Structure 1
Amino acid sequence: MDFIIQVLTDWLKEILVGGIMGNLTGMFDAVNQKVGEVSEQVGLTPQAWNGDIFSMIQNLSETVMVPIAGVILAFVMTLELIQLIVDKNNFHDIESAVFFKWIFKSACAILIVTNTWDIVMGVFDLAQGVVNNASGVIIGDAAIDISSVTADLEARLMEMDLGPLFGLWFQSLFVGMTMWALVICIFIITFGRMIEIYLVTSLAPVPMATMMNHEWGQMGQNYLRSLFALGFQAFLIIVCVAIYAVLVQNIALDGDVSYAIWTCMGYTVLLCFTLFKTGSMARSVFNAH
Protein backbone atom coordinates (compact mmCIF):
# COMPACT_ATOMS: atom_id res chain seq x y z
CA MET A 1 0.00 0.00 0.00
CA ASP A 2 2.83 2.38 0.88
CA PHE A 3 4.45 1.54 -2.46
CA ILE A 4 1.29 2.53 -4.37
CA ILE A 5 1.01 5.79 -2.41
CA GLN A 6 4.65 6.58 -3.11
CA VAL A 7 4.24 5.89 -6.82
CA LEU A 8 1.11 8.04 -6.95
CA THR A 9 2.88 10.81 -5.04
CA ASP A 10 5.85 10.74 -7.40
CA TRP A 11 3.50 10.79 -10.38
CA LEU A 12 1.66 13.85 -9.04
CA LYS A 13 4.97 15.52 -8.27
CA GLU A 14 6.17 15.00 -11.82
CA ILE A 15 2.94 16.50 -13.19
CA LEU A 16 3.09 19.51 -10.84
CA VAL A 17 6.80 20.09 -11.39
CA GLY A 18 6.33 19.87 -15.15
CA GLY A 19 3.46 22.35 -14.95
CA ILE A 20 5.48 24.74 -12.79
CA MET A 21 8.48 24.56 -15.11
CA GLY A 22 6.20 25.11 -18.11
CA ASN A 23 4.58 28.13 -16.46
CA LEU A 24 7.92 29.67 -15.50
CA THR A 25 9.54 29.09 -18.88
CA GLY A 26 8.89 32.16 -20.97
CA MET A 27 6.64 33.68 -18.29
CA PHE A 28 8.30 37.08 -18.56
CA ASP A 29 9.33 36.92 -22.22
CA ALA A 30 6.30 38.85 -23.50
CA VAL A 31 6.66 41.46 -20.76
CA ASN A 32 10.37 41.81 -21.47
CA GLN A 33 9.61 42.33 -25.15
CA LYS A 34 6.89 44.94 -24.55
CA VAL A 35 8.94 46.86 -21.98
CA GLY A 36 11.84 46.87 -24.43
CA GLU A 37 9.55 48.26 -27.13
CA VAL A 38 8.28 51.08 -24.93
CA SER A 39 11.42 53.19 -25.29
CA GLU A 40 11.33 52.68 -29.05
CA GLN A 41 7.64 53.53 -29.41
CA VAL A 42 7.63 56.70 -27.31
CA GLY A 43 10.78 57.95 -29.02
CA LEU A 44 9.02 58.14 -32.40
CA THR A 45 7.42 61.23 -33.85
CA PRO A 46 3.86 60.91 -35.23
CA GLN A 47 5.29 60.78 -38.75
CA ALA A 48 7.84 58.08 -37.91
CA TRP A 49 5.31 55.97 -35.95
CA ASN A 50 3.00 55.44 -38.93
CA GLY A 51 3.47 57.44 -42.10
CA ASP A 52 0.08 56.49 -43.61
CA ILE A 53 -1.90 57.64 -40.56
CA PHE A 54 0.23 60.78 -40.37
CA SER A 55 -0.52 61.67 -44.00
CA MET A 56 -4.25 61.05 -43.50
CA ILE A 57 -4.41 63.24 -40.35
CA GLN A 58 -2.39 65.98 -42.03
CA ASN A 59 -4.70 65.93 -45.04
CA LEU A 60 -7.79 66.10 -42.82
CA SER A 61 -6.33 68.94 -40.80
CA GLU A 62 -5.36 71.02 -43.81
CA THR A 63 -8.43 70.39 -45.99
CA VAL A 64 -11.23 70.13 -43.42
CA MET A 65 -10.16 71.90 -40.23
CA VAL A 66 -8.24 74.87 -41.72
CA PRO A 67 -11.35 76.30 -43.49
CA ILE A 68 -13.28 75.99 -40.23
CA ALA A 69 -10.42 77.65 -38.43
CA GLY A 70 -10.55 80.47 -41.01
CA VAL A 71 -14.19 81.16 -40.16
CA ILE A 72 -13.40 81.13 -36.43
CA LEU A 73 -10.40 83.39 -37.04
CA ALA A 74 -12.57 85.90 -38.91
CA PHE A 75 -15.06 85.90 -36.03
CA VAL A 76 -12.55 86.30 -33.20
CA MET A 77 -10.55 89.00 -35.01
CA THR A 78 -13.73 90.94 -35.80
CA LEU A 79 -14.61 90.67 -32.13
CA GLU A 80 -11.07 91.82 -31.31
CA LEU A 81 -11.48 94.91 -33.52
CA ILE A 82 -14.79 95.80 -31.89
CA GLN A 83 -13.25 95.46 -28.44
CA LEU A 84 -10.27 97.65 -29.38
CA ILE A 85 -12.57 100.39 -30.66
CA VAL A 86 -15.10 100.21 -27.83
CA ASP A 87 -12.37 100.29 -25.20
CA LYS A 88 -11.50 103.83 -26.34
CA ASN A 89 -14.37 105.74 -24.67
CA ASN A 90 -17.12 104.18 -26.77
CA PHE A 91 -15.82 105.21 -30.19
CA HIS A 92 -14.45 108.55 -28.97
CA ASP A 93 -10.78 109.43 -29.03
CA ILE A 94 -9.85 106.62 -31.44
CA GLU A 95 -6.16 106.44 -32.30
CA SER A 96 -4.86 105.16 -35.61
CA ALA A 97 -2.42 102.95 -33.69
CA VAL A 98 -5.39 100.80 -32.68
CA PHE A 99 -5.92 99.73 -36.28
CA PHE A 100 -2.22 99.03 -36.81
CA LYS A 101 -2.30 96.91 -33.66
CA TRP A 102 -5.30 94.99 -34.96
CA ILE A 103 -3.70 94.49 -38.38
CA PHE A 104 -0.53 93.18 -36.74
CA LYS A 105 -2.48 90.77 -34.51
CA SER A 106 -4.55 89.60 -37.48
CA ALA A 107 -1.42 88.97 -39.54
CA CYS A 108 0.10 86.98 -36.67
CA ALA A 109 -3.12 84.97 -36.27
CA ILE A 110 -3.21 84.16 -40.00
CA LEU A 111 0.45 83.17 -39.88
CA ILE A 112 -0.23 80.84 -36.94
CA VAL A 113 -3.24 79.17 -38.58
CA THR A 114 -1.51 78.64 -41.93
CA ASN A 115 1.53 77.13 -40.20
CA THR A 116 -0.35 75.20 -37.52
CA TRP A 117 0.84 71.79 -38.68
CA ASP A 118 4.50 72.85 -38.60
CA ILE A 119 4.07 74.32 -35.11
CA VAL A 120 2.40 71.18 -33.79
CA MET A 121 4.98 68.85 -35.30
CA GLY A 122 7.72 71.10 -33.95
CA VAL A 123 6.46 70.43 -30.43
CA PHE A 124 6.75 66.67 -30.93
CA ASP A 125 10.14 66.99 -32.63
CA LEU A 126 11.36 68.86 -29.56
CA ALA A 127 9.92 66.19 -27.25
CA GLN A 128 11.46 63.42 -29.35
CA GLY A 129 14.89 65.03 -29.06
CA VAL A 130 14.57 65.12 -25.28
CA VAL A 131 13.40 61.49 -25.16
CA ASN A 132 16.20 60.26 -27.41
CA ASN A 133 18.81 62.04 -25.31
CA ALA A 134 17.29 60.62 -22.14
CA SER A 135 17.18 57.09 -23.57
CA GLY A 136 20.92 57.09 -24.11
CA VAL A 137 21.52 58.12 -20.50
CA ILE A 138 19.06 56.31 -18.25
CA ILE A 139 17.70 53.21 -20.02
CA GLY A 140 19.17 49.98 -18.72
CA ASP A 141 18.36 46.32 -19.19
CA ALA A 142 14.73 45.94 -18.14
CA ALA A 143 14.55 42.20 -18.91
CA ILE A 144 13.62 39.76 -16.15
CA ASP A 145 15.90 36.75 -16.57
CA ILE A 146 14.40 33.85 -14.67
CA SER A 147 16.47 31.23 -16.49
CA SER A 148 19.17 31.53 -13.82
CA VAL A 149 16.82 30.07 -11.24
CA THR A 150 15.25 27.38 -13.43
CA ALA A 151 18.54 25.55 -14.02
CA ASP A 152 18.44 23.50 -10.81
CA LEU A 153 14.85 24.32 -9.94
CA GLU A 154 13.38 20.99 -11.06
CA ALA A 155 15.52 19.03 -8.61
CA ARG A 156 14.61 21.41 -5.81
CA LEU A 157 10.91 21.11 -6.62
CA MET A 158 10.99 17.31 -6.57
CA GLU A 159 12.15 17.49 -2.97
CA MET A 160 9.09 19.50 -1.92
CA ASP A 161 5.83 18.04 -0.58
CA LEU A 162 2.63 17.92 -2.60
CA GLY A 163 0.96 20.78 -0.68
CA PRO A 164 3.61 23.40 -1.39
CA LEU A 165 3.87 22.14 -4.97
CA PHE A 166 0.15 22.64 -5.51
CA GLY A 167 0.46 26.16 -4.09
CA LEU A 168 3.46 27.02 -6.25
CA TRP A 169 1.79 25.61 -9.36
CA PHE A 170 -1.29 27.74 -8.77
CA GLN A 171 0.86 30.81 -8.10
CA SER A 172 2.89 30.33 -11.28
CA LEU A 173 -0.33 29.83 -13.29
CA PHE A 174 -1.94 32.95 -11.84
CA VAL A 175 1.18 35.09 -12.31
CA GLY A 176 1.53 33.87 -15.91
CA MET A 177 -2.06 34.89 -16.70
CA THR A 178 -1.51 38.23 -14.98
CA MET A 179 1.59 38.87 -17.05
CA TRP A 180 -0.40 38.53 -20.25
CA ALA A 181 -2.93 41.04 -18.92
CA LEU A 182 -0.06 43.42 -18.12
CA VAL A 183 1.30 42.99 -21.65
CA ILE A 184 -2.08 44.13 -22.96
CA CYS A 185 -2.02 47.11 -20.59
CA ILE A 186 1.42 48.19 -21.80
CA PHE A 187 0.24 47.83 -25.41
CA ILE A 188 -2.82 50.00 -24.71
CA ILE A 189 -0.74 52.68 -23.00
CA THR A 190 1.89 53.03 -25.72
CA PHE A 191 -0.42 52.71 -28.72
CA GLY A 192 -3.24 54.66 -27.07
CA ARG A 193 -0.93 57.62 -26.53
CA MET A 194 -0.07 57.77 -30.22
CA ILE A 195 -3.74 57.51 -31.22
CA GLU A 196 -4.49 60.37 -28.82
CA ILE A 197 -1.72 62.43 -30.45
CA TYR A 198 -3.22 61.88 -33.90
CA LEU A 199 -6.71 62.81 -32.69
CA VAL A 200 -5.53 65.96 -30.92
CA THR A 201 -3.36 67.15 -33.81
CA SER A 202 -6.20 66.68 -36.31
CA LEU A 203 -8.11 69.51 -34.55
CA ALA A 204 -5.08 71.79 -34.20
CA PRO A 205 -6.16 74.67 -36.53
CA VAL A 206 -9.36 75.39 -34.58
CA PRO A 207 -7.85 76.22 -31.15
CA MET A 208 -4.81 77.84 -32.78
CA ALA A 209 -7.15 80.28 -34.57
CA THR A 210 -8.09 81.80 -31.20
CA MET A 211 -4.53 82.46 -30.00
CA MET A 212 -4.48 86.23 -30.66
CA ASN A 213 -7.81 87.07 -29.05
CA HIS A 214 -7.84 88.37 -25.49
CA GLU A 215 -10.91 86.42 -24.37
CA TRP A 216 -10.71 83.33 -26.58
CA GLY A 217 -6.94 82.99 -26.48
CA GLN A 218 -7.09 80.75 -23.42
CA MET A 219 -8.40 77.97 -25.68
CA GLY A 220 -5.29 78.07 -27.84
CA GLN A 221 -2.98 78.34 -24.84
CA ASN A 222 -4.57 75.30 -23.17
CA TYR A 223 -4.25 73.42 -26.45
CA LEU A 224 -0.53 74.16 -26.64
CA ARG A 225 -0.14 73.03 -23.03
CA SER A 226 -1.88 69.76 -23.86
CA LEU A 227 0.50 69.25 -26.81
CA PHE A 228 3.54 69.75 -24.59
CA ALA A 229 2.00 67.40 -22.02
CA LEU A 230 1.50 64.69 -24.66
CA GLY A 231 4.98 65.18 -26.04
CA PHE A 232 6.81 65.14 -22.73
CA GLN A 233 4.69 62.28 -21.41
CA ALA A 234 7.14 60.16 -23.40
CA PHE A 235 9.96 61.44 -21.18
CA LEU A 236 8.07 60.38 -18.06
CA ILE A 237 7.46 56.95 -19.59
CA ILE A 238 11.19 56.59 -20.25
CA VAL A 239 11.93 57.49 -16.62
CA CYS A 240 9.37 54.89 -15.43
CA VAL A 241 11.00 52.18 -17.55
CA ALA A 242 14.44 53.17 -16.24
CA ILE A 243 13.27 52.88 -12.62
CA TYR A 244 11.68 49.52 -13.43
CA ALA A 245 14.95 48.34 -14.99
CA VAL A 246 16.85 49.14 -11.80
CA LEU A 247 14.27 47.38 -9.62
CA VAL A 248 14.11 44.13 -11.58
CA GLN A 249 17.88 43.78 -11.73
CA ASN A 250 18.00 43.75 -7.93
CA ILE A 251 15.56 40.84 -7.55
CA ALA A 252 17.18 37.80 -5.95
CA LEU A 253 16.05 35.06 -8.34
CA ASP A 254 18.27 32.40 -6.79
CA GLY A 255 16.38 32.36 -3.50
CA ASP A 256 12.71 31.70 -2.84
CA VAL A 257 11.07 31.08 -6.22
CA SER A 258 7.62 32.08 -5.04
CA TYR A 259 8.92 35.34 -3.60
CA ALA A 260 10.88 36.06 -6.78
CA ILE A 261 7.98 35.64 -9.21
CA TRP A 262 5.58 37.62 -7.00
CA THR A 263 8.15 40.40 -6.68
CA CYS A 264 8.61 40.45 -10.44
CA MET A 265 4.88 40.64 -10.95
CA GLY A 266 4.58 43.38 -8.32
CA TYR A 267 7.16 45.51 -10.08
CA THR A 268 5.43 44.96 -13.43
CA VAL A 269 2.04 45.93 -11.99
CA LEU A 270 3.66 49.03 -10.49
CA LEU A 271 5.15 49.87 -13.89
CA CYS A 272 1.76 49.59 -15.62
CA PHE A 273 0.03 51.70 -12.98
CA THR A 274 2.70 54.38 -13.23
CA LEU A 275 2.54 54.37 -17.03
CA PHE A 276 -1.19 54.99 -16.80
CA LYS A 277 -0.50 57.95 -14.49
CA THR A 278 2.13 59.58 -16.72
CA GLY A 279 -0.56 61.32 -18.76
CA SER A 280 -2.11 63.07 -15.76
CA MET A 281 1.37 63.82 -14.38
CA ALA A 282 2.41 65.54 -17.60
CA ARG A 283 -0.83 67.52 -17.75
CA SER A 284 -0.38 68.66 -14.16
CA VAL A 285 3.14 69.86 -14.97
CA PHE A 286 1.94 71.94 -17.93
CA ASN A 287 -1.42 72.80 -16.29
CA ALA A 288 -3.31 71.41 -19.27
CA HIS A 289 -6.88 70.64 -18.19
Structure 2
Amino acid sequence: MNFLWTSIQEWLKEILVSGIMSNLSGLFDSVNEKVADISGQVGTSPQAWNSGIFNMIENLSETVILPIAGVILAFVMTLELVQIIMDKNNFNDIETAVFFRWIFKTACAILIVTNTWNIVMGVFDVAQQVVGQASGVIIGDTSIDLASVLPDLEARLTEMDIGPLFGLWFQSLFVGITMWALTICIFLICYGRMIEIYLVTSIAPIPMATMLGKEWGGMGQNYLRSLFALGFQAFLIIVCVAIYAVLVQNIAVDTDISAAIWTCMGYTVLLCFTLFKTGSLAKSLFAAH
Protein backbone atom coordinates (compact mmCIF):
# COMPACT_ATOMS: atom_id res chain seq x y z
CA MET A 1 0.00 0.00 0.00
CA ASN A 2 2.86 2.37 0.74
CA PHE A 3 4.30 1.66 -2.69
CA LEU A 4 0.94 2.38 -4.32
CA TRP A 5 0.48 5.61 -2.35
CA THR A 6 4.00 6.72 -3.20
CA SER A 7 3.36 6.07 -6.90
CA ILE A 8 0.13 8.08 -6.79
CA GLN A 9 1.94 10.93 -5.05
CA GLU A 10 4.70 10.93 -7.64
CA TRP A 11 2.11 10.86 -10.43
CA LEU A 12 0.17 13.77 -8.93
CA LYS A 13 3.38 15.69 -8.36
CA GLU A 14 4.43 15.24 -11.99
CA ILE A 15 1.02 16.46 -13.19
CA LEU A 16 1.08 19.48 -10.88
CA VAL A 17 4.69 20.40 -11.73
CA SER A 18 4.03 20.13 -15.46
CA GLY A 19 0.82 22.16 -15.04
CA ILE A 20 2.60 24.88 -13.07
CA MET A 21 5.44 25.03 -15.60
CA SER A 22 2.88 25.27 -18.41
CA ASN A 23 1.01 28.08 -16.61
CA LEU A 24 4.20 29.99 -15.87
CA SER A 25 5.69 29.48 -19.33
CA GLY A 26 5.24 32.77 -21.15
CA LEU A 27 3.09 34.06 -18.29
CA PHE A 28 4.33 37.64 -18.64
CA ASP A 29 5.10 37.57 -22.38
CA SER A 30 1.90 39.35 -23.44
CA VAL A 31 2.29 41.96 -20.70
CA ASN A 32 5.96 42.46 -21.58
CA GLU A 33 5.00 42.99 -25.22
CA LYS A 34 2.29 45.53 -24.39
CA VAL A 35 4.45 47.42 -21.89
CA ALA A 36 7.32 47.60 -24.39
CA ASP A 37 4.85 48.89 -26.98
CA ILE A 38 3.61 51.70 -24.72
CA SER A 39 6.48 54.08 -25.48
CA GLY A 40 5.90 53.61 -29.20
CA GLN A 41 2.15 54.15 -28.89
CA VAL A 42 2.24 57.30 -26.75
CA GLY A 43 5.23 58.66 -28.64
CA THR A 44 3.34 58.65 -31.94
CA SER A 45 1.58 61.75 -33.20
CA PRO A 46 -2.13 61.55 -34.12
CA GLN A 47 -1.23 61.79 -37.81
CA ALA A 48 1.33 58.97 -37.65
CA TRP A 49 -0.80 56.72 -35.44
CA ASN A 50 -3.46 56.23 -38.12
CA SER A 51 -3.38 58.47 -41.18
CA GLY A 52 -6.81 57.30 -42.37
CA ILE A 53 -8.56 58.31 -39.14
CA PHE A 54 -6.51 61.51 -38.99
CA ASN A 55 -7.57 62.60 -42.48
CA MET A 56 -11.21 61.77 -41.76
CA ILE A 57 -11.21 63.80 -38.53
CA GLU A 58 -9.46 66.72 -40.22
CA ASN A 59 -12.02 66.68 -43.03
CA LEU A 60 -14.94 66.58 -40.57
CA SER A 61 -13.46 69.41 -38.53
CA GLU A 62 -12.94 71.69 -41.51
CA THR A 63 -16.12 70.94 -43.46
CA VAL A 64 -18.72 70.32 -40.74
CA ILE A 65 -17.54 71.92 -37.50
CA LEU A 66 -15.74 74.99 -38.87
CA PRO A 67 -18.92 76.62 -40.35
CA ILE A 68 -20.68 76.16 -37.01
CA ALA A 69 -17.68 77.72 -35.29
CA GLY A 70 -17.97 80.69 -37.65
CA VAL A 71 -21.56 81.29 -36.56
CA ILE A 72 -20.57 81.00 -32.89
CA LEU A 73 -17.68 83.39 -33.44
CA ALA A 74 -20.00 85.96 -35.02
CA PHE A 75 -22.39 85.67 -32.08
CA VAL A 76 -19.62 85.92 -29.46
CA MET A 77 -17.94 88.96 -31.02
CA THR A 78 -21.28 90.70 -31.66
CA LEU A 79 -22.19 90.17 -28.02
CA GLU A 80 -18.77 91.55 -27.10
CA LEU A 81 -19.48 94.72 -29.13
CA VAL A 82 -22.92 95.16 -27.56
CA GLN A 83 -21.44 94.86 -24.08
CA ILE A 84 -18.75 97.43 -24.90
CA ILE A 85 -21.42 99.90 -25.98
CA MET A 86 -23.72 99.18 -23.03
CA ASP A 87 -20.94 99.67 -20.49
CA LYS A 88 -21.33 103.42 -20.99
CA ASN A 89 -24.50 105.40 -20.30
CA ASN A 90 -23.74 108.02 -22.86
CA PHE A 91 -22.39 107.43 -26.34
CA ASN A 92 -20.21 110.50 -25.84
CA ASP A 93 -18.26 108.56 -23.20
CA ILE A 94 -17.22 105.88 -25.69
CA GLU A 95 -13.72 106.28 -27.05
CA THR A 96 -13.01 105.48 -30.66
CA ALA A 97 -10.11 103.30 -29.57
CA VAL A 98 -12.44 100.65 -28.13
CA PHE A 99 -13.81 99.95 -31.60
CA PHE A 100 -10.29 99.53 -32.98
CA ARG A 101 -9.51 97.16 -30.11
CA TRP A 102 -12.69 95.22 -30.88
CA ILE A 103 -11.77 95.02 -34.57
CA PHE A 104 -8.28 93.81 -33.66
CA LYS A 105 -9.67 91.22 -31.24
CA THR A 106 -12.16 90.01 -33.86
CA ALA A 107 -9.41 89.71 -36.47
CA CYS A 108 -7.33 87.67 -34.01
CA ALA A 109 -10.32 85.46 -33.23
CA ILE A 110 -10.92 84.82 -36.93
CA LEU A 111 -7.24 84.00 -37.36
CA ILE A 112 -7.39 81.53 -34.48
CA VAL A 113 -10.52 79.79 -35.80
CA THR A 114 -9.23 79.50 -39.36
CA ASN A 115 -5.96 78.01 -38.09
CA THR A 116 -7.46 75.86 -35.36
CA TRP A 117 -6.24 72.58 -36.81
CA ASN A 118 -2.64 73.84 -37.02
CA ILE A 119 -2.82 75.13 -33.43
CA VAL A 120 -4.22 71.86 -32.09
CA MET A 121 -1.68 69.73 -33.94
CA GLY A 122 1.06 72.10 -32.77
CA VAL A 123 0.15 71.33 -29.15
CA PHE A 124 0.52 67.60 -29.77
CA ASP A 125 3.72 68.07 -31.77
CA VAL A 126 5.28 69.86 -28.80
CA ALA A 127 4.06 67.18 -26.39
CA GLN A 128 5.31 64.35 -28.63
CA GLN A 129 8.72 65.97 -28.93
CA VAL A 130 8.98 66.06 -25.13
CA VAL A 131 7.84 62.42 -24.95
CA GLY A 132 10.37 61.37 -27.58
CA GLN A 133 13.23 62.98 -25.69
CA ALA A 134 12.05 61.51 -22.38
CA SER A 135 11.64 57.98 -23.72
CA GLY A 136 15.22 57.99 -24.94
CA VAL A 137 16.47 58.94 -21.50
CA ILE A 138 14.40 57.10 -18.89
CA ILE A 139 12.93 53.98 -20.50
CA GLY A 140 14.75 50.78 -19.56
CA ASP A 141 14.13 47.07 -19.87
CA THR A 142 10.49 46.50 -18.88
CA SER A 143 10.33 42.73 -19.33
CA ILE A 144 9.74 40.35 -16.44
CA ASP A 145 11.84 37.20 -16.81
CA LEU A 146 10.77 34.43 -14.45
CA ALA A 147 13.80 32.37 -15.47
CA SER A 148 16.08 34.93 -13.83
CA VAL A 149 13.76 35.62 -10.91
CA LEU A 150 13.23 31.91 -10.21
CA PRO A 151 16.31 29.92 -11.28
CA ASP A 152 15.98 26.11 -11.40
CA LEU A 153 12.22 26.46 -11.08
CA GLU A 154 11.31 22.92 -12.09
CA ALA A 155 13.84 21.37 -9.69
CA ARG A 156 12.53 23.52 -6.86
CA LEU A 157 8.95 22.52 -7.66
CA THR A 158 9.87 18.84 -7.62
CA GLU A 159 11.13 19.18 -4.05
CA MET A 160 7.79 20.59 -2.84
CA ASP A 161 4.95 18.55 -1.33
CA ILE A 162 1.64 17.91 -3.09
CA GLY A 163 -0.32 20.38 -0.93
CA PRO A 164 1.86 23.44 -1.68
CA LEU A 165 2.09 22.36 -5.33
CA PHE A 166 -1.69 22.20 -5.60
CA GLY A 167 -2.00 25.70 -4.10
CA LEU A 168 0.72 27.02 -6.39
CA TRP A 169 -1.06 25.54 -9.41
CA PHE A 170 -4.23 27.48 -8.55
CA GLN A 171 -2.18 30.64 -7.97
CA SER A 172 -0.39 30.32 -11.31
CA LEU A 173 -3.73 29.77 -13.05
CA PHE A 174 -5.23 32.85 -11.40
CA VAL A 175 -2.16 34.98 -12.18
CA GLY A 176 -2.31 33.86 -15.81
CA ILE A 177 -5.94 35.01 -16.12
CA THR A 178 -5.06 38.28 -14.40
CA MET A 179 -2.17 38.88 -16.81
CA TRP A 180 -4.53 38.60 -19.77
CA ALA A 181 -6.88 41.09 -18.12
CA LEU A 182 -4.00 43.50 -17.49
CA THR A 183 -2.89 43.14 -21.11
CA ILE A 184 -6.37 44.21 -22.20
CA CYS A 185 -6.25 47.15 -19.75
CA ILE A 186 -2.94 48.39 -21.17
CA PHE A 187 -4.37 48.06 -24.69
CA LEU A 188 -7.46 50.07 -23.71
CA ILE A 189 -5.38 52.81 -22.08
CA CYS A 190 -3.11 53.33 -25.09
CA TYR A 191 -5.76 53.05 -27.78
CA GLY A 192 -8.42 54.82 -25.73
CA ARG A 193 -6.15 57.84 -25.32
CA MET A 194 -5.60 58.13 -29.07
CA ILE A 195 -9.33 57.80 -29.79
CA GLU A 196 -10.00 60.49 -27.17
CA ILE A 197 -7.50 62.73 -28.94
CA TYR A 198 -9.31 62.26 -32.26
CA LEU A 199 -12.69 62.95 -30.65
CA VAL A 200 -11.48 66.09 -28.90
CA THR A 201 -9.71 67.50 -31.97
CA SER A 202 -12.72 66.87 -34.21
CA ILE A 203 -14.73 69.64 -32.48
CA ALA A 204 -11.76 71.97 -31.92
CA PRO A 205 -13.09 74.99 -33.93
CA ILE A 206 -16.16 75.42 -31.69
CA PRO A 207 -14.40 76.04 -28.34
CA MET A 208 -11.58 77.90 -30.10
CA ALA A 209 -14.18 80.30 -31.52
CA THR A 210 -14.93 81.48 -27.99
CA MET A 211 -11.28 81.95 -27.01
CA LEU A 212 -11.21 85.76 -27.07
CA GLY A 213 -14.73 86.36 -25.83
CA LYS A 214 -15.07 88.15 -22.50
CA GLU A 215 -17.96 86.03 -21.25
CA TRP A 216 -17.35 82.86 -23.26
CA GLY A 217 -13.56 82.83 -23.19
CA GLY A 218 -13.43 80.26 -20.40
CA MET A 219 -14.72 77.57 -22.76
CA GLY A 220 -11.83 78.00 -25.15
CA GLN A 221 -9.27 78.28 -22.36
CA ASN A 222 -10.52 75.10 -20.70
CA TYR A 223 -10.43 73.32 -24.04
CA LEU A 224 -6.82 74.38 -24.59
CA ARG A 225 -5.95 73.12 -21.11
CA SER A 226 -7.54 69.76 -21.93
CA LEU A 227 -5.41 69.55 -25.07
CA PHE A 228 -2.23 70.11 -23.09
CA ALA A 229 -3.42 67.54 -20.53
CA LEU A 230 -3.98 64.94 -23.27
CA GLY A 231 -0.63 65.72 -24.86
CA PHE A 232 1.44 65.60 -21.67
CA GLN A 233 -0.45 62.58 -20.36
CA ALA A 234 1.90 60.65 -22.63
CA PHE A 235 4.86 62.02 -20.67
CA LEU A 236 3.32 60.83 -17.40
CA ILE A 237 2.74 57.40 -18.96
CA ILE A 238 6.41 57.24 -19.98
CA VAL A 239 7.45 58.10 -16.41
CA CYS A 240 5.15 55.34 -15.06
CA VAL A 241 6.72 52.80 -17.41
CA ALA A 242 10.22 53.96 -16.42
CA ILE A 243 9.41 53.46 -12.72
CA TYR A 244 7.99 50.03 -13.55
CA ALA A 245 11.19 49.14 -15.43
CA VAL A 246 13.29 49.96 -12.37
CA LEU A 247 11.01 47.95 -10.08
CA VAL A 248 10.92 44.78 -12.18
CA GLN A 249 14.68 44.77 -12.65
CA ASN A 250 15.17 44.85 -8.89
CA ILE A 251 12.95 41.90 -8.04
CA ALA A 252 14.94 39.87 -5.56
CA VAL A 253 15.42 36.17 -6.11
CA ASP A 254 13.22 34.63 -3.43
CA THR A 255 13.20 31.08 -2.22
CA ASP A 256 9.43 31.42 -1.95
CA ILE A 257 8.17 30.82 -5.50
CA SER A 258 4.67 32.02 -4.69
CA ALA A 259 5.97 35.31 -3.26
CA ALA A 260 8.12 35.96 -6.34
CA ILE A 261 5.19 35.37 -8.71
CA TRP A 262 2.85 37.59 -6.70
CA THR A 263 5.52 40.30 -6.55
CA CYS A 264 5.79 40.31 -10.34
CA MET A 265 2.01 40.43 -10.63
CA GLY A 266 1.79 43.22 -8.04
CA TYR A 267 4.16 45.42 -10.02
CA THR A 268 2.10 44.86 -13.17
CA VAL A 269 -1.16 45.70 -11.37
CA LEU A 270 0.48 48.82 -9.96
CA LEU A 271 1.54 49.86 -13.46
CA CYS A 272 -2.01 49.49 -14.82
CA PHE A 273 -3.47 51.44 -11.90
CA THR A 274 -1.02 54.33 -12.35
CA LEU A 275 -1.61 54.34 -16.11
CA PHE A 276 -5.34 54.77 -15.47
CA LYS A 277 -4.59 57.63 -13.08
CA THR A 278 -2.39 59.57 -15.52
CA GLY A 279 -5.42 60.99 -17.34
CA SER A 280 -7.03 62.54 -14.28
CA LEU A 281 -3.63 63.63 -12.95
CA ALA A 282 -2.75 65.44 -16.18
CA LYS A 283 -6.13 67.19 -16.23
CA SER A 284 -5.72 68.30 -12.61
CA LEU A 285 -2.28 69.71 -13.38
CA PHE A 286 -3.62 71.84 -16.23
CA ALA A 287 -6.91 72.75 -14.56
CA ALA A 288 -7.68 76.36 -13.67
CA HIS A 289 -7.08 77.30 -10.03
Is residue 47–residue 54 contact of structure 2 (8 Å, CA) maintained in 1? yes
| Match in the other structure for 1:110 | 110
Q: Alpha-carbon deviation of 1:79?
A: 0.3
For each residue in 1:141-165, what CA deviation from the matched residue of structure 2 results, as whole angstroms up to 9, or x when unmatched? Answer: 0100112356522122111110000
Is residue 182–residue 269 contact of structure 1 (8 Å, CA) maintained in 2? yes
| Match in the other structure for 2:135 | 135
| Match in the other structure for 1:191 | 191
Is residue 21–residue 150 contact of structure 1 (8 Å, CA) maintained in 2? no
SS in structure 1 of the partner of residue 93 of structure 2: coil
| Match in the other structure for 2:257 | 257
| In the alignment, structure 1 residue 85 sits paired with structure 2 residue 89 | no
Distance of 2:10 and 2:116 partners within structure 1: 71
More displaced stretch, 80-89 vs 222-231: 80-89
Is residue 70–residue 209 contact of structure 1 (8 Å, CA) maintained in 2? yes
RMSD: 1.2
Distance of 1:91 and 1:58 partners within structure 2: 45
Is residue 148–residue 254 contact of structure 1 (8 Å, CA) maintained in 2? no
| Match in the other structure for 1:99 | 99
| Match in the other structure for 1:164 | 164
For each residue in 1:161-207, what CA deviation from the matched residue of structure 2 results, as whole angstroms up to 9, or x when unmatched? Answer: 10000011111111111000000000000100000000000010000
Amino acid at match of 1:106: T
Q: Alpha-carbon deviation of 1:254?
A: 5.2
Distance of 1:92 and 1:185 partners within structure 2: 65
Is residue 77–residue 106 contact of structure 1 (8 Å, CA) maintained in 2? yes
Distance of 1:287 and 1:90 partners within structure 2: 40
| Match in the other structure for 1:41 | 41
SS in structure 2 of the partner of residue 88 of structure 1: coil
Amino acid at match of 1:134: A
More displaced stretch, 156-165 vs 13-22: 156-165
SS in structure 1 of the partner of residue 252 of structure 2: coil
Distance of 1:284 and 1:150 partners within structure 2: 41
Distance of 1:26 and 1:82 partners within structure 2: 69
More displaced stretch, 279-288 vs 222-231: 279-288
SS in structure 1 of the partner of residue 106 of structure 2: helix
For each residue in 1:89-113, what CA deviation from the matched residue of structure 2 results, as whole angstroms up to 9, or x when unmatched? Answer: 3534222111111110110000000
| Match in the other structure for 1:240 | 240
For each residue in 1:241-275, what CA deviation from the matched residue of structure 2 results, as whole angstroms up to 9, or x when unmatched? Answer: 00000000111245321111100100110100000
SS in structure 2 of the partner of residue 251 of structure 1: coil
SS in structure 2 of the partner of residue 177 of structure 1: helix
Distance of 2:263 and 2:150 partners within structure 1: 16
Percent of aligned positions with the same letter in both sequences? Answer: 78
**Which blocks of at least 5 consecutive residues in structure 2 are unaligned?**
none
Normalising by structure 2, we get a TM-score of 0.98
| Match in the other structure for 1:210 | 210
| Match in the other structure for 1:52 | 52
Distance of 1:149 and 1:195 partners within structure 2: 37
| In the alignment, structure 1 residue 67 sits paired with structure 2 residue 67 | yes
**Which blocks of at least 5 consecutive residues in structure 1 are unaligned?**
none
| Match in the other structure for 1:147 | 147
Normalising by structure 1, we get a TM-score of 0.98
Distance of 1:257 and 1:172 partners within structure 2: 10
How many corresponding residue pairs? 289
